[in-house]
Amino acid sequence: MRESPRQIIVLAISFALLAALPWIAGAVGRPDFVTLGSQACVMAIAAASLDLLMGRTGLPSFGHAAWLGLGAYTVGILAFHARDLGPWALQAWAVWPLAVLVPAALAAVIGALCLRTSGISFIMITLAFAQMFFFLFVALKTYGGDDGLTLRRRSTIPGIAPRDDVAFFYVCLVALVLVLLLLRRVAASRFGTVLDGIRQNERRMMAMGLAPFPYKLAAFVLSAAIAGLAGALHVNLFRFASPDVLHWTMSGELMVMVVLGGLGSLWGAVFGAAAMVVLHAVLAQWTEHWQIVLGPILVAVVLLARRGVWGALGGK
């Protein structure tokens, strides 16, 4: 987990740029950069949570979008019923923790089932559960079904105007920094060391008298909880939740972000997410056929840069 000097410089510059983004956007007359920055932060949180599973614990989940979507829909559905539930259903302090707890609780049950399998079966069974949630939300016409659920206004945070995009960007940025600090603490803890051990050699951990299952489940739940937070931010950012957020392509994109950045290095997931969001925006501005460029880039990264963008920065 030691960063090379080059990586530290890149990190410092990136976060300085990010913190100054609203000014930069104002200076070049592109207010949409702020939205892009928020989007990058949100996806970085989701990707970092997936990296805890894929990179650290060695559990390739192909259903991570489910937790993102559950977090988003928790916020959306509570706001939808705000008239009956009372004003608390629109308050960030009440709703966002629920958006973390709901996915975490479901992940505890589903994780317990999924973790009975491993390898390719694990990939497929996580996909299966995510698809179940996807079709569940498609089926719930009360909440818009596949037309999606519009959030008329963002969750209320005292002191922040709901339509202030710059303020919301800083909310996302602060959330990202807090999540990264938490995940670094986790990585440095005994818990993190055990997860590393499980990834490298599960049998050896068992021989050492450690039952891997509770650790894997805890990682699964923690990862879902953080993704739920990303979902809560996501629905607030676009003021819209749709089953698209739970679709398997979203799970695939999250995996791509993690692998693109570099598996198992927390920063890698962050950079992978930011790179995908920015690449997508830049290419889409440049040509309508941006996918024809992005596709080969992904192939090239796999074939040529095996440790991802972040790993390549580390040198050696």
Residue owning tokens 């009956």: 84
Inter-residue contact 269 to 47 (CB < 8 Å): yes
Among 145, 196, 217, 305, binds another protein (CB under 8 A): 145
**In sequence order, what E strands does the chain have?**
149-150, 240-241
Residues contacting residue 126 through CB under 8 Å, at least 6 positions apart? 61, 62, 63, 64, 114
- Tally of CB atoms within 10 A around 136: 14
**291 belongs to the binding site for another protein (CB under 8 A):** yes
**Site map for another protein, 239-278, x if CB under 8 A?**
xx-x-x---xx--x--xx--xx--x---------------
**Site map for another protein, 178-217, x if CB under 8 A?**
----------------------------------------
Residues contacting residue 17 through CB under 8 Å, at least 6 positions apart? 24
Return the range that interacts with another protein (CB under 8 A); candidates 94-102, 148-156, 170-178, 225-233.
148-156
Least separation in angstroms between residue 209's CB and another protein is 26
**136 belongs to the binding site for another protein (CB under 8 A):** yes
Inter-residue contact 71 to 100 (CB < 8 Å): yes
Query: How many residues bind another protein, per CB under 8 A?
Result: 63
Cα–Cα distance measured from residue 146 to residue 266, given in angstroms and rounded to the nearest whole number: 33
Least separation in angstroms between residue 298's CB and another protein is 3
Inter-residue contact 203 to 42 (CB < 8 Å): no
**77 belongs to the binding site for another protein (CB under 8 A):** no
**156 belongs to the binding site for another protein (CB under 8 A):** no
Least separation in angstroms between residue 251's CB and another protein is 10
Residue owning tokens 């609780």: 105
DSSP 8-state symbol, 52: I
Return the range that interacts with another protein (CB under 8 A); candidates 2-10, 74-82, 85-93, 141-149.
141-149
**123 belongs to the binding site for another protein (CB under 8 A):** yes
**171 belongs to the binding site for another protein (CB under 8 A):** no
Least separation in angstroms between residue 172's CB and another protein is 16
**Site map for another protein, 57-76, x if CB under 8 A?**
---x-x--------------
Alpha-carbon torsion 295, 10, 196, 43, what sign?
A: negative
- Tally of CB atoms within 10 A around 280: 16
Inter-residue contact 237 to 42 (CB < 8 Å): yes
Return the range that interacts with another protein (CB under 8 A); candidates 42-50, 68-76, 212-220, 282-290.
282-290
φ and ψ at residue 123, rounded to 5 degrees = -55, -45
Q: Which two tokens stand for residue 128?
A: 């299966």
Cα–Cα distance measured from residue 264 to residue 307, given in angstroms and rounded to the nearest whole number: 10
Binding site for another protein (CB under 8 A): 30-32, 35, 54, 60, 62, 113, 116-117, 119-121, 123-125, 127-129, 131-132, 135-136, 138-142, 145-148, 150, 152, 165, 238-240, 242, 244, 248-249, 252, 255-256, 259-260, 263, 288-292, 294-299, 301-303, 306
